[in-house]
């Protein structure tokens, strides 16, 4: 199979002349760093684990130990992961673009590690812990402790500071993400299956405003046919090519 993805010249021209660039990333962006995605048939987390038993507030109430230990395992994977060439290309893009907003559904912090400054985390961060009751953020790291530790102020179990199904996204982050999606000149959707809402509605908002949209994903998604450009390849190879084709001429 020829994995070479051609970058259209007019895409580069439009990206280079964009004043504001907004980017939405998903788990696919971190796949090449060894962080498992969610919905892929063989390698995705939901192929082996049931999200209803692990990634909902009900699951945590029912079985806090199971949920805590599963996230401890996920934290250990993330702790070993390093940003890949796609993350580095997005950090470069932030330096080169006049205005740049990176909206991520990822909880692994790899964009920040790659050097991106303007990162909006829609689904929280797996390395942060908060109280399940009083929402206090706990700075201490609990890498190897089994079962949920207890909140020092209210004694309720602590939980990862991520957004589970049925929970609201952080309000300020979501508002800033909608604003960026509606006011940018180019919107890129990278490595996301585009099915989890409200994140999946961000490219729809951009399209409604007539904004140029680009998808980077080796597979098709419900958004693929609506996008202005589709770069059908892995972000770790497509993004470095996109950045050099756009800005080094």
User: Looking at the annotation, which residues are catalytic?
Assistant: 123
Which residue has tokens 């696919």? Answer: 28
Strand partners, 103: 24, 120
Interface of this chain with ligand BJW, residues 131 to 190, rule: CB under 6 A: 162-163, 165-168
Gyration radius of the chain's alpha carbons: 18
Q: Which range binds Zn ion by CB under 5 A, 13-21, 81-89, 153-161, 194-202?
A: 153-161
Q: Order of strands, edge to edge, in the sheet holding 99-104?
A: 119-121, 99-104, 20-25, 186-190, 212-216, 229-231
222 alpha-carbon distance from chain centroid: 17
User: Is 87 near ligand BJW (CB under 6 A)?
Assistant: no
C-alpha separations of 137 from 27, 125, 152 in Å? 24, 11, 11
Minimum Å gap between C-beta 31 and ligand BJW is 4
114 binds, among ligand BJW, Zn ion, none (CB under 5 to 8 A by kind): none
What gap in Å lies between CA 85 and CA 175, rounded to an integer?
29
DSSP letter for each residue of 198-211: TGGGHHHHHHHTT-
What gap in Å lies between CA 220 and CA 24, rounded to an integer?
16
What gap in Å lies between CA 114 and CA 92, rounded to an integer?
9
110 binds, among ligand BJW, Zn ion, none (CB under 5 to 8 A by kind): none
User: Is 158 near Zn ion (CB under 5 A)?
Assistant: no
User: Is 81 near ligand BJW (CB under 6 A)?
Assistant: no
Minimum Å gap between C-beta 82 and ligand BJW is 15
Minimum Å gap between C-beta 25 and ligand BJW is 8
User: Is 72 near ligand BJW (CB under 6 A)?
Assistant: no
User: Is 223 near Zn ion (CB under 5 A)?
Assistant: no
Write the binding mask 131 to 150 for Zn ion: x where contact by CB under 5 A, - elsewhere. Answer: x-xx----------------
134 binds, among Zn ion, ligand BJW, none (CB under 5 to 8 A by kind): Zn ion
Which residues of this chain interact with ligand BJW, rule CB under 6 A?
26-28, 31-32, 37-40, 44, 55, 105, 107, 123, 126, 162-163, 165-168, 191-193, 195-198, 216-219, 221, 234-236
């Amino acid at each position: 199979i020829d994995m070479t993805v051609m970058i259209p010249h007019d895409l580069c021209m439009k990206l280079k002349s964009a004043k504001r660039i907004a980017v939405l990333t998903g788990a696919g962006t971190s796949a090449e760093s060894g962080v498992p995605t969610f919905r892929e048939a063989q390698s995705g987390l939901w192929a082996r684990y049931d999200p209803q038993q692990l990634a909902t507030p009900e699951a945590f109430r029912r079985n806090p130990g199971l949920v805590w230990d599963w996230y401890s395992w996920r934290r250990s994977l993330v702790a070993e992961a390093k940003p890949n060439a796609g993350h580095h290309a997005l950090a470069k893009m932030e330096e080169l673009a006049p205005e740049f907003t990176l909206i991520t559904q990822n909880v692994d912090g790899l964009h920040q590690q790659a050097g991106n400054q303007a990162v909006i985390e829609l689904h929280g961060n797996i390395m942060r812990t908060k109280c399940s009751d009083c929402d206090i953020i706990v700075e201490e790291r609990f890498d190897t402790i089994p079962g949920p530790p207890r909140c020092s102020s209210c004694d309720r179990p602590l939980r990862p500071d991520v957004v589970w199904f049925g929970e609201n996204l952080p309000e300020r982050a979501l508002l800033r993400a909608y604003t960026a999606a509606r006011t940018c000149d180019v919107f890129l959707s990278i490595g996301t299956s585009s099915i989890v809402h409200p994140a999946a509605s961000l490219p729809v908002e951009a399209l409604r405003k007539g904004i140029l949209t680009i998808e980077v994903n080796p597979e098709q998604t419900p958004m693929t046919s609506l996008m202005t450009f589709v770069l059908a390849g892995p972000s770790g190879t497509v993004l470095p090519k996109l950045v050099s084709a756009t800005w080094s001429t």
